[in-house]
Amino acid sequence: MRVNGQRVEKGTQVHPGDLVTVPRLVGVQPEPELALRVVYEAADLAVVEKPGGMPSHALDPREAGTAAAFVVARWPETRRVGNPLAPGLAHRLDTGTSGLLVVARSPACFATLRSAFAQGRVDKQYLAIVAGTPPARVTLRRALAHDRRDRRRMAPAEPGTRSWPAETRIETLAVVGTAALVAVTIRTGVTHQVRVHLAILGHPVLGDALYGGPPAGLAPGRHALHASALTIAAPGRPLLSVRSPLPADLAALLS
């Protein structure tokens, strides 16, 4: 994207009178050499396991190495489903987060899944390794908004700002030295919700420099957060429940 003829970064604010030029969207290019684990596959739906450090989708059609590039190579029909740069993806995971990603293989399934996510009919569980020792069980209900000082971040909403309600349930599973393994369950899907709420609690995700998480020796761009379980109760569809174990790079932090 360009503003007044100059290339700008994501999140740049525009003002009245600015000339905004957006390139014509073309589809992401398939990359059959990518190898993602397929956890579940049906005629109109699939669930894949995204590794940490891989973007869910491209921000530019020239961007390679995304989960979306695998999806469109494996299921070419997804090219006509959803966003051309995120074909078939019913939701997203942050680049540094690993785990379960749901793919709609038809426009009808995409509409059903998007409605299920919007109506809170999808339970999403994450495993995270965090700094310190959180409470045994706690629920955070804090609306979130874009951070006015840094558009890359989300922050607790201030009065008068556009915000999104967010509820996060956290359960501590194990304490290992100065860190803890926690299970996190959400039904809302606000950007960075799990990461922000854990930071608000005072126990940021290891490796999550954006929200104050201490370094953990993980690969660049990776943090200790894994989308480990999904249960989808969409009208007209059988209940779907899938799980994904903690990946090796995060399991190593606990040993």
Q: Which residue ranges make up each domain of the chain?
A: 28-118, 122-233+243-255
Q: What are phi and psi of 74, to 5 degrees?
A: -75, -40
Q: Are strands 225-232 and 98-104 parallel, antiparallel or unpaired?
A: parallel
Task: Round to whole Å and give the CA distance between 175 and 47.
Answer: 31
Task: Round to whole Å and give the CA distance between 189 and 79.
Answer: 24
Closest CA to 214 of 163, 176, 179: 179
pTM of the model: 0.88
Task: Round to whole Å and give the CA distance between 164 and 221.
Answer: 26
- Which residues are known catalytic residues? 94
User: At the topology level of CATH, where does 28-118 sit?
Assistant: Pseudouridine synthase (3.30.2350)
Res 61: pLDDT: 73
3-state class (DSSP) for residue 138: strand
Taking residue 119's Cβ as centre, other Cβ atoms within 10 Å add up to 12
Task: Round to whole Å and give the CA distance between 175 and 130.
Answer: 10
Reported as type and span, the H/E element at residue 49 is: strand 45-50
| Domain 122-233+243-255, CATH homologous superfamily name and number | Pseudouridine synthase (3.30.2350.10)
Reported as type and span, the H/E element at residue 202 is: none
Dihedral angle computed from the Cα positions of residues 168, 175, 203 and 66, in that order, rounded to the nearest 10 degrees: -70
Q: If the chain, 255 residues long, is cut into consecutive pieces of 10 residues, what is the mean pLDDT of each piece?
A: 81 86 75 95 96 91 90 96 94 97 97 94 96 97 93 91 94 97 94 97 97 96 97 91 97 93
Token duo for residue 88:
């078939």
Taking residue 19's Cβ as centre, other Cβ atoms within 10 Å add up to 9
Task: Round to whole Å and give the CA distance between 225 and 239.
Answer: 25
Q: What is the pLDDT of residues 17-63, one digit of tens each?
A: 889 887 665 678 899 999 999 999 999 999 999 999 999 998 877 78
Task: Round to whole Å and give the CA distance between 165 and 142.
Answer: 7
Task: Round to whole Å and give the CA distance between 236 and 60.
Answer: 35
